[in-house]
Amino acid sequence: MQILKLATALPENEFSTEELLRAFPCKLPEGVKHNVLNLGVRKRCLINHSSLSQKSEAVLSEDELVDLCREACGKAIEKAGVSARDIGYFIAAYDVNPFLSPGLSQILVRQLGFNPYIRHVNAQGIASTAFPKALELAGNHLAVHPDDYVLICVSGVSSYWFQNQVRGLGNVAEISQIRLMRNAAAKALQLRDWVATMEFFLFGDGVAAAVVAKGKKGLSVKRLVEVTNVGKNDYLAGYSRLSAVNEPFRFGFYSHLDRKIPDLGVKYTKLALKKLLGKDLKKIMSATKRWVIHTGSQKILNLLAEGNAIDSEKIAESRSVLQEYGNLSGASLPFILEKVVSDGGLSAGDVILMVGYGWGFSAAAGLLEIS
């Protein structure tokens, strides 16, 4: 199976971290500002940026999300030299969509000009490992329909979640102070505000798309593996969920990022790479020309590079995407991969290793080769 072409789309609204610090609904302590700057994000693009001082809940529209998906998919189809009618299977992978149902693929089918009888599927809630999972689904389809073209759309739009979390926030305590608090309920509330703040400054918006086929010239997908929930409750290290509000037809949103996520990321990616490469682990890792590593944060990128003895220049594209666009959730891997391929410097036979990890708790790895 080959990835023929990759394409990306970004919102027009670009904001530096400094701009967003000034626009934040409350003044942040110096320690919290330091935490924000250590995330490694310089700027991001956001489709849903509105007044953060507004306390009323906003009614969300999917229009800007759909527009971004249409742009990325249209670019990928055009670059691959095919038409929408050539696509036999459509995979939409995403975490956030204002519509719980219908899913994103249903909305996009007509927007992209597909035949309404096209096979399509939604892959929701997979987060950072969404692209490898979408490639797995594409491979399964192509095994049965080898002459088809498959279009993958991965949405990394998270501002619907993470902007509303901090709307009207009154104060955010430093993490060192939160850890000293004895009242469990007060501590949990302050920690929730701190996590919401980090998420707001970490995640950006963007959509990536890929056209995949079998037996064509392109970036060959040699093997994909996934490891999920090694520990029974590891999924609780990072999640988002609905919560009940004592009013009819109203729901709240709760998300959590545990301090053990960096260590879990290292553990899970090591397991995934071992399963992917087996006895050839050291040999292939040493020969790998470029690594595509999910943009969790600057700290996580550093830990993964150190833990796997990866040369800094081999993850330059991962660092660049984090700095310029923030954590793009499931879209981060195809964003980085597109940058690796388009920047040149690779030749036939060169190996690329792709690693995603995060909420689930899951890690996925892929062995790719320039053909």
Residue type, 301: L
Q: Is residue 181 part of a domain?
A: no
**Across 2-6, 19-23, 131-135, least confident range:** 19-23
pLDDT greater than 70 at residue 118: yes
What 8-state DSSP symbol labels residue 129?
G
pLDDT greater than 70 at residue 56: no
Angle in degrees, 0-180, between the axes of helices 184-202 and 159-166, rounded to the nearest 10: 130
Q: Is residue 153 part of a domain?
A: no
Overall average pLDDT of the 46-61 stretch: 63
Q: Is residue 316 part of a domain?
A: yes
pLDDT greater than 60 at residue 367: yes
User: Please, are residues 80 and 149 in contact by the beta-carbon 8 Å criterion?
Assistant: yes
Q: Which residues contact 92 (CB under 8 A, 6 or more apart)?
A: 69, 103, 104, 105, 108, 120, 121, 122, 123, 153, 155
Question: Is the pLDDT higher at 169 or at 89?
Answer: 89
User: Please, are residues 293 and 324 in contact by the beta-carbon 8 Å criterion?
Assistant: no
pLDDT tens digits for range 291-323: 999 988 888 888 888 888 888 889 999 999 999
Angle in degrees, 0-180, between the axes of helices 184-202 and 30-37, rounded to the nearest 10: 40
- Look up the domain containing 301 and give its range: 221-370
Domain containing 326 — which CATH number?
3.40.47.10
Task: Please report how many Cα atoms fall inside a 13 Å half-sphere around the Cα of residue 295, on the Cβ side.
Answer: 32
Q: Is residue 204 part of a domain?
A: no
User: Please, are residues 77 and 49 in contact by the beta-carbon 8 Å criterion?
Assistant: no
Q: Is residue 255 part of a domain?
A: yes
Q: Is residue 195 part of a domain?
A: no
Overall average pLDDT of the 141-145 stretch: 96
**Spatial CA neighbour of 298 closest among 265, 331, 323:** 323
* Number of domains the chain is built from: 1
User: Please, are residues 368 and 221 in contact by the beta-carbon 8 Å criterion?
Assistant: yes
Q: Is residue 238 part of a domain?
A: yes
Q: Is residue 192 part of a domain?
A: no
